């Protein structure tokens, strides 16, 4: 709880008496899960936290970093978090399984995932068609980085199981895994990718940080990070849901107007991996990927459904109402 927030009128008088003021009555604690907070994929979350947008909305945000999107989803289903910033495709998977999980705000309109190969193997691994038998580093198996790698393999004529997916997290450990030769290829995000590129550790094969690169791999739009939660939580905490979405809407608007330098100055210095200039470049590389409206396009939603069905035979015959995967009333109000 924000103990520096005070009830209007009573706060000043109480302070004058030297006593602690009562906390705001409308503050709500919300447990938020994320799968690799330093990644630019989740920049809107960090900005909402660092710029005080959660506090402005009366949200006491308890942010839990699970290192991978699949683990964040597990935390939501298990009840240890209330809300998740994670890949949109998780809502489709849950809906197909009969669990009413819904997104309430789009954060990324492009995946911003880059697939690269270790530089010393660039002459041998020239495309995802050469991934068979290789070890591919991803944030976590089952996460969006893993799905992108598997989809690239399927598109190249391989099976999704032809390569081993190794969870390497979203921070410095991911960089170390490549530098130590523990993986042959990587499917990951900035600033991890920017660092590996700058140090000459990888050769990039696929880049979905741009609209053109996204369409080259997926054949169309492909919404990425969203804010999602259970429908039950939305129904029971409609006011809190609106507050959370309001904070993220402020974050998206701030990012759209900010310079890469301002963004670099706002995030924790640890996010720079010891190289602020490199982080600024990583931000420049990813700026195109953030949502402008907070709402995914119908084309993009359908594209993700096709992706899930392509990758997982279990979902090929599943009926999914895409309208049920995204509830837009909160973000429409927040962005208006």
The per-residue pLDDT for range 99-142, each reduced to its tens digit, is 999 999 999 999 999 999 999 999 999 999 999 999 999 999 98
Give me the CATH number covering residue 142.
3.40.190.10
- Verify that 160 and 20 share a domain, yes or no: no
In a domain, 59, yes or no: yes
Given a cut of 90, whether residue 194 has pLDDT beyond it is: yes
Buried b (16+ CB within 10 A) or exposed e, 173-183: ebbebbeeeeb
- Verify that 83 and 231 share a domain, yes or no: yes
- Verify that 105 and 119 share a domain, yes or no: no
> For 77-104, how does the pLDDT look when each residue is reduced to its tens digit (9 = 90+)?
999 999 999 999 999 999 999 999 999 9
Instruction: Residue 36: give the domain boundaries.
Output: 10-110+223-275+289-335
- Verify that 179 and 256 share a domain, yes or no: no
SS3 of residue 129 by DSSP: helix
- Verify that 227 and 330 share a domain, yes or no: yes
- Verify that 227 and 106 share a domain, yes or no: yes
Given a cut of 70, whether residue 5 has pLDDT beyond it is: no
**16 against 188, higher pLDDT:** 188
Would you state the pLDDT for residue 19?
41
Q: Mark which of 177, 207, 237 sits at the end of a domain.
A: 207
* Contact (Cβ atoms closer than 8 angstroms) between residue 278 and residue 191: yes
- Verify that 227 and 324 share a domain, yes or no: yes
Would you state the pLDDT for residue 161?
94
In a domain, 281, yes or no: no
- Verify that 45 and 167 share a domain, yes or no: no
Given a cut of 80, whether residue 24 has pLDDT beyond it is: no
- Verify that 188 and 257 share a domain, yes or no: no
SS3 of residue 210 by DSSP: coil
Given a cut of 60, whether residue 2 has pLDDT beyond it is: no
- Verify that 227 and 328 share a domain, yes or no: yes
Under the banding of pLDDT at 50, 70 and 90, the label for residue 25 is low
**Rounded alpha-carbon distances, angstroms, from residue 21 to 17, 25, 57:** 10, 12, 19
Under the banding of pLDDT at 50, 70 and 90, the label for residue 11 is very low
Given a cut of 70, whether residue 63 has pLDDT beyond it is: yes
pLDDT more than 70, % of the chain: 93
**174 against 318, higher pLDDT:** 174
In a domain, 264, yes or no: yes
Given a cut of 60, whether residue 15 has pLDDT beyond it is: no
Interatomic CA distance for residues 164 and 266, integer angstroms: 37
> For 311-331, how does the pLDDT look when each residue is reduced to its tens digit (9 = 90+)?
888 888 788 999 999 999 999
pLDDT more than 90, % of the chain: 82
- Verify that 134 and 263 share a domain, yes or no: no
- Verify that 53 and 103 share a domain, yes or no: yes
Interatomic CA distance for residues 83 and 233, integer angstroms: 9
Under the banding of pLDDT at 50, 70 and 90, the label for residue 4 is very low
- Work out how many domains the chain is built from and give that number: 2
Interatomic CA distance for residues 186 and 189, integer angstroms: 9
* Contact (Cβ atoms closer than 8 angstroms) between residue 330 and residue 241: yes
> For 201-244, how does the pLDDT look when each residue is reduced to its tens digit (9 = 90+)?
999 999 999 999 999 999 888 999 999 999 999 999 999 999 99
Q: Which residues contact 164 (CB under 8 A, 6 or more apart)?
A: 134, 135, 136
Interatomic CA distance for residues 130 and 185, integer angstroms: 10
Would you state the pLDDT for residue 32?
98
């Amino acid at each position: 709880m924000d103990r520096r927030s005070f009830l209007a009128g009573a706060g000043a008088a109480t302070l004058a008496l030297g006593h602690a003021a009562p906390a705001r009555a409308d503050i709500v604690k919300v447990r938020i899960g994320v799968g690799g907070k330093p990644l630019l994929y989740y920049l809107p979350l960090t900005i909402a936290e660092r710029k005080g947008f959660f506090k402005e909305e009366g949200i006491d945000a308890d942010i839990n970093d699970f290192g991978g999107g699949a683990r964040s989803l597990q935390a939501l289903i298990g009840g240890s978090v209330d809300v998740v910033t994670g890949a949109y495709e998780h809502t489709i998977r849950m809906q197909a399984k009969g669990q009413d999980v819904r997104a309430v705000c789009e954060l990324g309109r492009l995946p911003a995932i880059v697939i690269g190969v270790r530089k010393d193997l660039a002459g041998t691994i020239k495309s995802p068609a050469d991934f068979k038998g290789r070890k591919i580093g991803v944030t976590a198996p089952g996460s969006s980085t893993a799905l992108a790698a598997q989809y690239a393999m399927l598109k190249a004529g391989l099976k999704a199981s032809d390569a081993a997916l190794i969870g390497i997290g979203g921070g410095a450990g991911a960089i170390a895994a490549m530098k130590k030769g523990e993986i042959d290829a990587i499917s990951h995000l900035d600033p991890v990718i920017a660092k590996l590129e700058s140090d000459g550790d990888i050769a990039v094969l696929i880049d979905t940080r741009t609209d053109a690169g996204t369409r080259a791999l997926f054949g169309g739009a492909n919404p990425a990070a969203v804010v999602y939660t259970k429908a039950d939580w939305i129904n029971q905490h409609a006011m809190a849901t609106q507050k959370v979405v309001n904070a993220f809407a402020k974050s998206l608007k701030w990012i759209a107007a900010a310079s890469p330098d301002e963004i670099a100055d706002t995030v924790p210095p640890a996010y720079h991996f010891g190289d602020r200039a490199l982080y600024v470049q990583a931000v420049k590389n990813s700026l195109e990927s953030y949502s402008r409206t907070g709402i995914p396009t119908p084309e993009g939603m359908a594209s993700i459904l096709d992706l899930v069905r392509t990758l997982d035979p279990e979902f090929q015959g599943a009926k999914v109402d895409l309208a049920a995967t995204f509830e837009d009333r909160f973000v429409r109000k927040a962005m208006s």
